Chains A and B, each alone.
Chain A
C-alpha cells in the first residue's frame, strides 16, 4: 500500500523488469500522466458552449427552429445527443474544456466527461418552454436520466451499432407499429448513428496525432492500430480483444456525455471469447491483453480530482431522478465528487440454468484483479462475485488487490444473491438471468443489460423515532415542531408502551406505512420521464426495449427491478438492543426518559430559560440524568462484533422489512395501480412485472441520511453520521475516534474480524436480492493469509452477501487530514465505491476515521 504518488513511483522504480507488480512502460506513462492530472482543476463545458438544440441558436433559421421544436421529444433527445457528441469534439470547445484529447501513448481512446454524480452535468437542452414548465412541475428536465443501469455491451460487441440502428428502423417501419413506437425506433437509430460518427472522428484524430509524431516513435504504429479498431467498432461487431475494449469504452464515453451515468457490466464475460480467439490466432499475448485492460482502467479514472475545491456544481433541481421519486434532487453531492458509477463486475457464476452453478472466472477476471492491485485508482470499482466454487487463486488475487489499498474489489456472494434475486424478489426471475447479475453504480444487483432499476430508502432509525415519539421524528423536536416532525401514524405515547413486543409491533406498523408509501410513489410516478427525459441511446443497449418498441423510461426493459432499501440498520439494531435490555429488561431508565434524552440530543438542546435548563417540550429531565443514560447506552455492545444478543436485532429488522415489503406489494391498496402499470406497459407475450428486491444501502449517504435523524439510543448524537450500508456504527461524531494507549494511537472501537463475520451470517441475507453490504476497515499490516481465509469464509456463505475492505491505519487517516499531499493515494470505501480520502469533505473523513477497526 502506498500513501502517495511519490512513494508509489519510488516503489515501482525499484522493481526489477518483469516483476508482477510492474505495469508495462506504456501503462506507467499513462498512469503517471493521470496521477498528475488529478492534482489540477479540470476544465468543464460552459452552459453557453452547450446551449440548446434550437432555442437561442443564431446558426438556424426560424423555419429550422420551428421544425425542430415540432419534432417529438425522443427525436429531439436523439438530435441533442448527436449535437452534444459533435460539440465536445469541436477543437475550440475541447481546448478550453478538456472535452476531447488523445495522448500519444493511448491504446484506448475517447474522453470521459467530468460529470460525476456529485458534480452534475451539462447537456444540450431540447425542450420547449412549455415542456420545461411541465417537467419542472414534476421535478424533471433534460438532466433527469438517472443512469444507474447496466447496459448490454454484449449487444454492442455482437451486433455493432449500425445493425442496432438498422434493426430499429426496420422495426419502426413494420406493420402494426404505433406512431409512438416508430418515434422511439427512430430515436434509437439516430442516437446510434451519432455514436458511430463520434467514434469515427476519434479514428481520424488518432491518425492525425500519429502524423505529428517522429517516424521513429513507436506510438505512430499504436495510434494507427487504435484508429484501425475504430474503423470497425462500434459501427460493426468487434472481432478482436482490442476492438471490444475500445468499443465498450467509446460507447461508455458517449453514454456519459449524454447524461447516462452507467456502469460497465460483466467485463470478463464480455471479453473472454475475444481473448481466447486472439491468443489462439497468435495476435494477442496475455501481457498485451493485460496492458490493454490497464489502459482501459486508467481511461476510466481520468477525471478524478484530489481536492474538493476543484469540484463543480452543475446540479439542477431535477438531476438524476430516481424512478418513482417525486421531489427535487438534493442528496449528498459533496460525498460523490469522484463517483461515476463505473462498476465492473467479474467472476461469479455462468449465466445458465444448470442445476449446479458453474464458476465463471477466466483469464480476464484475473487480469482485472491484477489491474486493481497494480494501479492506484479509485475508479472503476471492481466487483468480484464469489461463491463456493471460486478458484483459490482468484481469492488470493482479490486479497492482494484489497491490501494494496484501493478498497477493490467489492465481494458479492453468488450463493446468497442469486437465489435472493431469483426467488425472493416478488415474481421469480429466471435462474440464468439472476446468475447474470451485475452491479450498478455502487453494488446494487440487477440482471445485466436487461433491467431497469431504481431504489428508495426506508430509515430504520426513523422508525424507532416514530415508535418512541408518536409517529414523529426526533430531529425536529423543540420549539418549532414541539414533539417533532410528524410523518407517520400517531401511535401510542412512549409511556404507554407496555413491553418490548408492543414496541416492536408499533415499529412494524410505521415500517409498513413506509413500504406502502414507497410503492405508492413508485406506481404513481413510474413512466413520467418519457415525455421529458427519454433515454434512446441507453435503450438501444438494454434488452427488451427494441423488442417492445418502448424506451427504457417507459417500461421497455425486460426486467423492472426496484429496491426498497433499509438504512441505518446497525444504529437501529444497537438502539433496539438498548431499549430491550436497559429499558424493558433491566429497567435502568424508562422509555419516556429515553425519548426526552433523544429529543434534546442528549442534553445538547436543553433550553436556557432564566438561568434554568429545561426541555422544550414533553417530560423534563435533568442534565445529570441525561448524561448518565447516555453513558449507559454508549457502554452497551454493538452490532458487527459477533455479539448475538445485539446481532439478533439486525436480523429482526431485516426479516421484518423483507416481510413488510412483500406484504405491502400484495396489499389490495396497490392492486389497481399495479394493474394499471401492467396494462399500460405489458403485453400478452411480455407481461410487465415489477420485481421488488429489498436490500440495505446507504451508499455514500451515511452523513447526509444521518443529518435527518435525531439522536439515537445507541448514544449517537442528533444529525450524526450513520453506519454505512450494513456496517457497524461508527464512533459518535462528538467522541474521539482514537485513544492514546501509552503513546500508541489506538482505535476506540476495535473488533476481531472473525467476530465481525459472524454478525453477518444469517439466512435473512437470502431475502435481500439487492444485497446488504458491510464495509470493514483493516489495519495496513493485516496479514495476507488472514484476508485470504476471510474471503474464503465469505465465499463459503459464512458471512453475509456483500462485503468491502478498506485498508488504513488510524494514524494514516489522522496524518492525511494534516498533510493531504503526503497521503494522496489513500483510498476508502464509500459504501459502494472508492474515494480518495484527501478528496473528501471533513465530515466524511471523520466518518472513515470512526468506523470500527477490524483486526
Chain B
C-alpha cells in the first residue's frame, strides 16, 4: 500500500490546443517518491479527466458572418474568463480546505451545420472552409430504434468540464440564459460524471489503452490534432474532431450475465483490462480495436486508427417503462474523424461481416444491450490566444 498521494494534473490553458481535449494529463516523468513502474502503468501521460462534464449543444442565431463572429468573440472571452478565474473564496467556510482550482475547461466545437445547414444553406459563406471530414453524424446499426442523428445536429458544442458539477451548472446557466450572447440558442444539455478509477459503467477498465502523452512522439497529440499537410483547411491545424455518441446500456440485462460472459462481451479481463487470449471475434475490444498484423486496403495498420476516448457516465433516471436509463457519453477525439473514428465504427464495430462474413455486430450492442441514443460530430478549433477568438481564422 503506497501512502503517497499525487495532486491531480491541471488543464493547460496556454498551448495551441483548446483545453479539455488532451488535458489535464499526467506528466510523463514520475514525481519523486513514487514507484516509477506503478507510475508508468497507471499515470504517465494518461488523461486525468475532470469529474464532471456538461455537453451543451446549441445553434447560432445570426444573420451574417459578422454576427457569427461576434458570438464567437463573446463565447471565447467567456470561456477564457471561466477557465482562468480563481475560484471565489467568499463562499468558503472558515475551516474548509482552500479550493485553489476547479480545473475548469470550456471547449468549443463547430458542427457541420455551421458551415452548411441541414437544408443545404451556406448562411455565413463558410461552406468552402468546412473541415474535410466534418459532417452530420450518420446512422449506424447500433442506433436505438427511432434515433435520427441528424435531428441532433447543431452548430456548436460546448464541453464544460470541472471537478464540481455546480460550476458546470453555473457556466451552463450563463450560456443558456443568454448571459454570454443571445445568439447562442441552446438545444440540449447533457450531464456526465467520471468514475475516478477509469472504469466504465459495468466496472471494466476503460482508459489504459488510450494513447498517452509521452515523449518522444507524444502519440496522444499525434492521434488527436490536425497537422499541416493533412489536407485540411489551414484554419484547422491544431484543432481536433469530436465524435460524440450518447450510448445507453441496459445494465439490468448485462448484470444478469456471469462474469465470464461479461468478459466475453468485452473481450477483456474486467480488472486488468488485458485482452482475452481468444476473444470472440465479435467481442467489443477486437471489434472496435482490432490489431491485425497487416495493413488494410488503405495501407493503414489498425493501430493507426486509434482515437482518444474521454468518456463520462450519465444517469437519466428511469424511462416510462421503469427501466434505468444510464450509460456513457462516449467522447472520442481524433485528428481524422473519418479514418480514426467512423471507420472503426462503421467498418468494424457495426459491420456484421467483420472480421469475417456473419461475425456479427459488436457484442456490447447485441448481448450487452447498448444502443446509441444521441450525439454528434464536431470540430474543435485550435485555442484562441488572449485577445483572439475561437475560429477567428475562418473570417480572415
Residues of A that sit less than 8 Å from B by CB: 6, 9-10, 12-15, 22, 25-26, 28-29, 32-33, 36-37, 39-44, 46, 95-98, 101, 103-104, 209, 212-213, 307, 309-310, 821
Contact = CB atoms under 8 A, between A and B. Distances in A.
B354 interface: yes
Chain A contact residues, majority secondary structure: helix
Given A22-B297, A33-B132, A43-B129, A103 B231 contact: yes
Interface residues of B, number: 36
Contact of B354 (A13, A25, A36, A310): A13
Contacts of A14: 353-354, 357
B291 to A, nearest CB: 16
A25 B298 contact: yes
Most A C-beta atoms less than 10 A away, residue of B233, B298, B347: B298
A36 B297 contact: no
B115 A40 contact: yes
B229 A10 contact: no
A431 to B, nearest CB: 47
B295 A25 contact: yes
A42 B127 contact: yes
A41 B127 contact: yes
A193 to B, nearest CB: 29
A15 to B, nearest CB: 7
Contacts of B128: 42-44, 95-98
A36 B338 contact: yes
Given A32-B338, A44-B128, A310-B120, A13 B231 contact: no
A821 B122 CA distance: 20
A747 B354 CA distance: 35
Interface in B123-160: 125, 127-130, 132-133, 135, 138-139
B388 interface: no
A25 B297 contact: yes
A101 B116 contact: no
A4 to B, nearest CB: 10
B115 A32 contact: no
B139 A821 contact: yes
A6 B125 contact: no
A209 B339 CA distance: 21
A212 B128 CA distance: 23
Contacts of B139: 821
A36 B116 contact: no
A10 B135 contact: no
B296 interface: yes
B346 A213 contact: no
A36 B135 contact: yes
B229 A213 contact: yes
Contact of B122 (A9, A41, A307): A41
Contacts of B322: none
A41 B121 CA distance: 9
B296 A36 contact: no
A6 B346 contact: yes
B347 A13 contact: yes
Contacts of A46: 125
A26 B120 contact: no
Contact of B132 (A6, A37, A43): A37
10 contacts: A13-B296, A13-B347, A14-B353, A25-B297, A29-B298, A36-B133, A41-B130, A95-B129, A307-B120, A821-B138
Contacts of B121: 309
B351 interface: yes
Contact of A101 (B125, B231, B339, B357): B231
B119 interface: yes
Nearest to B356: A14
Given A40-B115, A213-B229, A25 B120 contact: no
A212 B229 contact: yes
What 3 A-B pairs are tightest by C-beta distance, nearest first?
A: A43-B128, A309-B120, A25-B299
Contacts of B339: 32
B276 interface: no
Interface string B274-306: 000000000000000000000111110000000
Nearest to A105: B231
A543 B252 CA distance: 78
A215 B339 CA distance: 22
B342 to A, nearest CB: 9
Given A29-B299, A96-B128, A98-B128, A40 B229 contact: no
B297 A15 contact: yes
Contact of A13 (B119, B228, B297, B338): B297
Contacts of B298: 25, 28-29, 32
A9 B347 contact: yes
Nearest to B112: A40
B234 interface: yes
Given A95-B233, A96-B125, A10 B347 contact: yes
Most B C-beta atoms less than 10 A away, residue of A41, A46, A212: A41
Given A36-B132, A37-B132, A104 B297 contact: no
Contacts of A101: 231
A38 to B, nearest CB: 11
Nearest to A217: B229
B341 to A, nearest CB: 13
Interface in B85-137: 112, 115-116, 119-122, 125, 127-130, 132-133, 135
A10 B345 CA distance: 12
A165 to B, nearest CB: 33
Given A36-B338, A40-B135, A95 B234 contact: yes
B359 to A, nearest CB: 11
Given A25-B299, A104-B231, A40 B347 contact: no
A212 B227 CA distance: 9
Contacts of A26: 299
A22 B298 CA distance: 10
Contacts of B299: 25-26, 29
A44 B299 CA distance: 33
A41 B229 contact: no
A226 to B, nearest CB: 15
B309 to A, nearest CB: 23
A21 to B, nearest CB: 11
B358 to A, nearest CB: 11
A10 B338 CA distance: 14
Nearest to A26: B299
A209 B229 contact: yes
B228 A40 contact: no
Contacts of A213: 229
A18 B130 CA distance: 35
B142 to A, nearest CB: 13
Contacts of B346: 6, 9-10
Contacts of A39: 135
A678 B115 CA distance: 55
A337 to B, nearest CB: 12
A40 B347 CA distance: 21
Given A28-B298, A32-B338, A10 B353 contact: yes
A12 B297 contact: yes
Contacts of A821: 138-139
Contacts of B115: 40-41
Contacts of B116: 40-41, 310
Contacts of A96: 125, 128-129
Contact of B119 (A28, A44, A309): A309
Contacts of B228: 212
Nearest to A39: B135
A10 B234 contact: no
A40 B379 CA distance: 15
A33 B231 CA distance: 10
Nearest to A15: B297
Nearest to A101: B231
Given A12-B297, A95-B235, A821-B139, 11 more contacts: A10-B346, A10-B354, A13-B351, A14-B354, A22-B297, A40-B135, A41-B116, A41-B120, A44-B128, A95-B234, A96-B129
A96 B234 CA distance: 10
B83 to A, nearest CB: 29
A28 B297 contact: yes
